[in-house]
């Protein structure tokens, strides 16, 4: 750690080069943690700024969402499904009423209709929603547990989706902008200073491994299914051993026949 030396304040320790580097690295890591915590607080303050109404609202494209069908709206459970729809509804925005997207077919880019479905909960989202009491016991009965294969992660995943989607239909209406969020110059100036520190490439390693880092296990990359028997290949060593074993048996039978 170093040598001791006497000062008017008392006995102190003279740090060596290795100890001084470690202390400087620890202090810098604490400074980055403080900057990230402060950045999160400022983001929250910016989100919670009150909206200001516009004098002249304007239209910005169209919005598409789900609504109750006419026969369901006139039924006895209209209020129940209206409340449930608020929890699983999805919204899409587009410049035109067609809601199309580009797709490449046979070397050409064509427009196809965009698909829109009700919100599907993952395993983690479903458990979290139940812990917070988002769904009642009656509402849970309308959800089914489905196992889907994720090609990107190469594994099966569990999802929960609404089973009676026929009760809703899509509705398109103009997307009107009626409010705007004001800009706080003090918050934006402090965020710019923090972004300059956090986005510095010299701090990426410390932020990634020490602050946002986590333990990566190889279990998430292991295959969650077993291949079929007809696709399994016999190792070369087993094939060679089987050949030698079969040859020895044949030789033993031949010797027995000769001796008889």
Which position has the token pair 């700024």?
49
What pLDDT, on the 0 to 100 scale, is given for residue 207? 86
What pLDDT, on the 0 to 100 scale, is given for residue 151? 85
pLDDT digits (tens, 9 = 90+) for 184-194: 999 999 999 99
What pLDDT, on the 0 to 100 scale, is given for residue 61? 93
What pLDDT, on the 0 to 100 scale, is given for residue 82? 94
What pLDDT, on the 0 to 100 scale, is given for residue 205? 85
pLDDT digits (tens, 9 = 90+) for 145-162: 999 888 887 888 999 999
Domain coordinates in residue numbering, the chain: 20-50+184-224, 52-180
What pLDDT, on the 0 to 100 scale, is given for residue 211? 83
CB burial class (10 A; 0-12, 13-18, 19+) of residue 106?
exposed
**CA 199/CA 205 separation, integer angstroms:** 11
All residue ranges of the chain with pLDDT < 50 are 1
Statement: the pTM of the whole predicted model exceeds 0.85 = no
Q: Which two tokens stand for residue 141?
A: 């009965």
């Amino acid at each position: 750690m170093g040598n001791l030396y006497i000062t008017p304040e008392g006995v102190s320790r003279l740090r060596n080069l290795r100890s001084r580097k470690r202390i400087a690295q620890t202090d810098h890591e604490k400074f980055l943690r403080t900057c990230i915590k402060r950045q999160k607080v400022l983001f929250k303050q910016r989100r919670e700024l009150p909206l200001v109404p516009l004098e002249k609202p304007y239209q910005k494209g169209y919005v598409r969402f789900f609504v109750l069908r006419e026969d369901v709206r006139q039924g006895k459970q209209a209020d129940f499904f209206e409340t449930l729809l608020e929890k699983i509804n999805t919204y899409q925005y587009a410049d035109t009423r067609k809601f199309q997207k580009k797709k490449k077919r046979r070397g050409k880019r064509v427009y196809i209709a965009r698909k829109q479905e009700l919100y599907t909960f993952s395993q983690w989202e479903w458990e979290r929603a139940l812990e917070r009491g988002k769904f009642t016991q009656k509402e849970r009965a309308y959800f089914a547990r489905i196992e889907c294969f994720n090609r990107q992660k190469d594994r099966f995943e569990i999802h929960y989706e609404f089973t009676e989607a026929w009760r809703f239909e899509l509705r398109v209406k103009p997307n009107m902008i009626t409010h705007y969020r004001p800009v706080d110059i003090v918050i934006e100036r402090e965020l710019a200073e923090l972004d300059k520190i956090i986005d510095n490439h010299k701090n990426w390693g410390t932020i990634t491994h020490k602050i946002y880092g986590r333990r990566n296990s190889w279990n998430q990359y292991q295959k969650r299914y077993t291949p079929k028997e007809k696709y399994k290949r016999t190792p070369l060593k087993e094939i060679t051993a089987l050949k030698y074993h079969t040859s020895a048996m044949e030789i033993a039978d031949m010797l027995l026949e000769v001796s008889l």
